[in-house]
Chains A and B, each alone.
Chain A
């Protein structure tokens, strides 16, 4: 053994000895690392190990898969580009205090996040399909919306809120005094934008693009409903499982989808995260941004207004569909579509219940993990850090297939229970809370915690009384995000549902696939209302002091 390795081994041994002095801390570390290993790393390994050489050969040589891969990349690129542009438009417009109705735009921009992403596809068909409200009943047009162009539009609208949230945060942190300074030096209007604002926002744009890219790659419900002949890898994974029963091929396809996802993820994490060009203190300056030129102001308003109208129409149409007897044929208002929602009310309750547990447990776990991994030193820390953010790169279908493979045999037989669904929801959204907590922790000087230790507090006491209150907003925003995301998740849980444990999102897709528009809309409307109600309740409980999505 060389000198360096001996030294390392000695340090590791010291670390372990230091840890054993604090059994509670050690226990927490073992718990966190263990859970991450079992519920994040193990399923991925299982999926990668499942296909045999025959499946891998087929994957690489069958022209059908190559075409699908091409389709997937194409639509991901298109949708990401337009979603980021739209997100930037909204972020820029809402960051200028003199754009009219900007608070309304903020609210509408996050509307797509509150419902399952494929509800956008459903609404799109209801609005723009052959019997669509706009294309048929109003305009008498006839055209085919199925295919990559329809999918492009639907995905843009469904995923631009993610770009918007990222970019809004970035634009907000740009110090307006930089703009004043530039103006003093003679740059105005577009030149100012091009030379000052845009370069500062570039890492944010790249970050948003990478995030949206991962979402579009794993989007499963929209291509299913609107894609037509244009098929992508995510839906093919589903078809392999449900149509062929070929878990090996499904795993191979999931692995293929994982590749671009991982690339985007690695780019975002290791290349971008270090390069922030904005002030990190998080404090805005006290100066208002420059007044927006009149023409630009109205252009921004018009652009956002148009998109907002389309979005509102999209979600309104779901409510209209819920109350119409037979879409496109019989517009008589009726309540009978809700009869099924009530009859299978357990599904909605399951959604709420599972999402709630996942949100509470997940946020707590994420914060605990962030604290332990970034404040304590133990062997395997880097691995744990990787495992905590890895789920952000995993397509939902891969998680679903991985969980079936991993947890179907003793000692951990979770298939057929609600626990597996909660676990999938929980571990899928860990990265959000984890990253927020890590960002929050990085802004707290370690000397604060060292001070607490000096006064005799054990690590977990420090966490509870000192650190947690300082990163409370990370916890609560993770809570809200996990809840919403889990209520609306589909691609991961569709393989995991079982009798008694069906969730509303899976049911809505099944109904939409069968052409039961009325019942699908009724259930979707109920799901969205449930999410709103819970958010409202949460807002009331926290006395409005918590900031939800920067609102």
Chain B
């Protein structure tokens, strides 16, 4: 009995040590430092993009998908010893505030000439890669059941109709870039005072505000709700997956630019610059358009499937400086007014 115990003990500990060795031996650090990308775009697309980058350039790269606010936090928290090289797909307002905080490094890629100049930071801290426009997503199956042949909402004011009470779901600007883009879009469309009036009126029809930007679209796709405030690319993705959604662009939609920046004092700045040069090219952008349904800023990239051409969409006059400067104040006020 004692002999068996001792043997078991030794075998067990030898086994444990062997397992430990195997686990630890799995390579944790690469030979050369890979390029580290903090990406905000959808993980599936980001994974494919990084795979293409490695194949096209032969440079090792790794990524993590985070939400926009998370990227801002992480880069700020890591500023003494940054672990990332590049941030990609992030909303400009957040990028501007990171620029003010001194977290970014200016890099004027040669590709900047290929993008219209208003989508590029004149100081070189960020370069736009994709155009994202907002709109309304309506679940067509539920619409038919509940409203029959009635016309779908065409303007933002149509959403204030009391018959939509508790049928609308929207993202919260407190935690999502989508939500913030939406509310400042209303400010740019109506002026700030009337904008707040509109949001208050809309709030009566909103069931609740979701922490994540894509949740409303997801819920409307599943039929949980009827109408969502959405980014066009989220809706288009759902449509292409087979969900019964109609995407509507009322007059005066908000929009944003997904852009790419170099992080200051990153571990591999040369690799980061290589990534920026590569990702602004035609093929990578086409990949993002195809998989993510975002709009491109390049003229030689085709539209996403099912998207409305840009000339037909009425965009608001988005003032980036105003948005960046007033973000904190606007969010605070929103948090006080709306409790859902």
Contacts and interface: CB of A to CB of B under 8 A. Distances in A.
A514 B40 CA distance: 12
A239 B175 contact: yes
A184 B58 CA distance: 83
Contacts of A67: 339
B273 interface: no
Contact of B70 (A241, A410, A469, A516): A241
Interface stretch (A157-165, A303-311, A496-504): A496-504
Given A242-B69, A360-B19, A500 B62 contact: yes
A469 B44 contact: no
Contacts of B64: 497-499, 502
Given A499-B36, A502-B64, A514-B214, A245 B242 contact: no
A239 B212 CA distance: 9
B223 A328 contact: yes
Interface stretch (B72-80, B255-263, B274-282, B310-318): B72-80
Interface string A463-480: 000001100000000000
Contacts of A136: 223
| Size category of the binding interface on chain A | 35 or more
Interface residues of B, number: 63
Contacts of A130: 219, 222-225
A247 B24 contact: no
A245 to B, nearest CB: 4
A361 to B, nearest CB: 8
Given A245-B73, A247-B77, A515-B222, A418 B174 contact: no
Nearest to B81: A413
A516 to B, nearest CB: 7
Contacts of B16: 360
Contact of A353 (B26, B80, B84, B242): B26
A404 B83 contact: no
Interface in B248-301: none
A415 interface: yes
B84 to A, nearest CB: 8
B20 interface: yes
B218 interface: yes
B242 A498 contact: no
A64 B223 CA distance: 30
A499 B37 contact: yes
Contacts of A507: 43
**Chain B CB within 10 Å, residue with most, of A144, A243, A418:** A243
A489 B211 CA distance: 21
Interface string A341-365: 0011000010001001100100000
B80 A408 contact: yes
Given A130-B222, A242-B175, A356 B23 contact: yes
Interface in B150-190: 172, 174-176
A515 B176 contact: no
Contact of A131 (B20, B23, B222): B222
A418 B208 contact: no
Given A510-B43, A515-B238, A415 B28 contact: no
Interface string A505-517: 0010011011110
B83 A498 contact: yes
Interface string A399-410: 000001100111
Given A245-B69, A415-B83, A515 B47 contact: no
Interface in A378-432: 404-405, 408-410, 413, 415-418
B222 A328 contact: yes
A284 interface: no
A242 B36 contact: no
Interface string A134-159: 00100000001010000000000000
A84 B176 CA distance: 37
Given A130-B223, A357-B24, A243 B174 contact: yes
Given A146-B208, A353-B23, A242 B242 contact: no
**Chain A CB within 10 Å, residue with most, of B64, B69, B73, B241:** B73
Nearest to A339: B44
A66 to B, nearest CB: 12
Interface in A62-113: 64, 67
**Chain A CB within 10 Å, residue with most, of B34, B38, B84, B223:** B223
B95 interface: no
Interface string B16-48: 100110011010100000101110001110010
B304 to A, nearest CB: 17
Given A229-B207, A340-B44, A513 B223 contact: no
Interface in A224-238: 224, 228-229, 235, 238
Interface in B49-82: 62-67, 69-70, 72-73, 76-78, 80-81
B176 A243 contact: yes
B43 A329 contact: no
A499 B38 CA distance: 8
Given A245-B72, A247-B77, A353-B26, A229 B224 contact: no
B221 interface: yes
B143 interface: no
Contacts of B218: 513-515
Contacts of A241: 69-70, 73
Nearest to B82: A416
B340 interface: yes
Contacts of B217: 515
Nearest to A494: B70
B225 to A, nearest CB: 8
Given A224-B211, A242-B69, A416 B83 contact: yes
Contacts of B38: 499
A519 interface: yes
Nearest to B331: A244
B83 A515 contact: no
B69 A329 contact: no
A326 interface: yes
A499 B242 contact: no
Contacts of A121: none
B9 interface: yes
Nearest to A513: B212
A329 B139 CA distance: 13
B42 A409 contact: no
Given A415-B78, A499-B36, A515-B218, A247 B73 contact: yes
Nearest to B142: A130
B335 interface: yes
A433 interface: no
B175 A408 contact: no
Nearest to B210: A228
Contact of B20 (A125, A357, A418): A357
B47 A344 contact: yes
A61 interface: no
A129 interface: yes
B62 A515 contact: no
A6 interface: no
27 contacts: A64-B339, A130-B224, A130-B225, A131-B222, A144-B207, A146-B224, A242-B175, A244-B69, A244-B73, A244-B175, A247-B73, A326-B242, A328-B223, A329-B241, A329-B243, A357-B20, A404-B77, A408-B81, A469-B9, A499-B63, A502-B64, A513-B215, A514-B42, A514-B212, A515-B218, A515-B238, A516-B44
Interface of B: 5, 9, 15-16, 19-20, 23-24, 26, 28, 34, 36-38, 42-44, 47, 62-67, 69-70, 72-73, 76-78, 80-81, 83-84, 172, 174-176, 207-209, 211-212, 214-215, 217-219, 221-225, 238, 241-244, 331, 335, 339-340
- Please list the 5 inter-chain residue pairs (A to B) with the smallest Cβ-Cβ separation, ordered nearest first: A243-B175, A515-B218, A229-B208, A245-B73, A499-B62
